């Protein structure tokens, strides 16, 4: 692994001990020989032995780095921690439950290679979701409300697999649950985003950390906040004078 890899794959985890090793090996299989990369796992103070599993994997996976929250802080904070720790100029994110397919990362990289330079976010779009019926219904409902309020032209903002520029991400306003609004926030900052169809898989181990009611209650408050941010935003063109 080089000192400054081209890509950092950031994976937040909380109590995912059985999903860690399979996902790490899938990431390396998808990216080795294609691009210089690192894998940054962020353990959000798991209560099982997720951290120990990650530490054991480091012996056989030189690309793997592990950071840990000393207090459980949530997925958005874990993603931001990973991005701040990352050494790559571009970031790919994956959910730690294994439902995102690492084989889609090269697809996002291919989309970036042919995209205009002002596109700084490539968002995964789960066209065939492998979740329960109630979860799919709740997601469609939430996406419809969000799209109507934010006009972000993103069919699946909650998909965990994304590719974005590190500097552009760190320039965004930070708040809890911000990861669910990255397309709208990137557009607010003056960048363009595109959605790319990706694979989605059933969870093979463990349980979801949130239910539909929890997502809905948090989402309403966050949606209003993001709408306010967009309304109050201003993007100014700047020219340096020689």
Q: What is the pLDDT of residue 213?
A: 47
Give residue-wise pLDDT tens across range 148-163. Answer: 688 888 988 889 999 9
Which domains, ranges and CATH numbers included, belong to the chain? 7-231 (3.90.550.10)
- Contact between residue 105 and residue 30 where contact means Cβ atoms under 8 Å apart: yes
Q: What is the pLDDT of residue 197?
A: 96
Quick one: which of 53, 49, 42, 48 has its CA closest to 85?
42
Give residue-wise pLDDT tens across range 77-108. Answer: 999 999 999 999 999 999 999 999 999 999 99
Mean pLDDT of 109-133: 89
Instruction: Give the CA distances from residue 73 to residues 17, 80, 120, 189, 208, in Å, rounded to whole numbers and listed in that order.
Output: 18, 11, 26, 25, 16
Cα 235 → chain centroid: 24
Q: What is the pLDDT of residue 158?
A: 86
CA–CA distance, 42 with 72 (Å, rounded to integer): 11
Give residue-wise pLDDT tens across range 129-144. Answer: 765 555 555 566 666 6
pLDDT at 225 over 90: no
């Amino acid at each position: 692994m080089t000192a400054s890899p081209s890509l950092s794959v950031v994976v937040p985890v909380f109590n995912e001990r059985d999903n860690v090793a399979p996902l790490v090996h899938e990431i390396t299989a998808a990216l080795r020989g294609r691009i210089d990369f690192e894998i940054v796992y962020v353990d959000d103070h798991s209560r099982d032995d997720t951290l120990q599993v990650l530490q054991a994997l480091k012996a056989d996976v030189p690309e793997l780095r592990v950071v840990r929250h000393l207090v459980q802080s949530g997925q958005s904070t874990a993603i931001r921690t990973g991005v701040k720790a990352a050494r790559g100029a571009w970031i790919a994110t994956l959910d730690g439950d294994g439902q995102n397919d690492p084989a889609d990362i090269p697809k996002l990289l291919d989309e970036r290679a042919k995209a205009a330079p002002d596109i700084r976010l490539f968002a995964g779009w789960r066209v065939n979701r492998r979740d329960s019926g109630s979860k799919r219904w709740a997601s469609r409902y939430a996406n419809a409300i969000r799209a109507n309020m934010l006009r972000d032209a993103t069919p699946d903002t909650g998909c965990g697999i994304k590719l974005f520029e590190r500097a552009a991400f760190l320039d965004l306003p930070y708040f809890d649950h911000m990861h669910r609004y990255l397309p709208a926030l990137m557009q607010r900052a003056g960048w363009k985003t595109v959605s790319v169809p990706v694979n989605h898989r059933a969870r093979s181990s463990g349980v979801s950390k949130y239910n539909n009611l929890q997502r809905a209650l948090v989402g309403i408050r966050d949606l209003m906040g993001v709408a306010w941010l967009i309304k109050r935003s201003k993007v100014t063109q700047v020219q340096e004078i020689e």
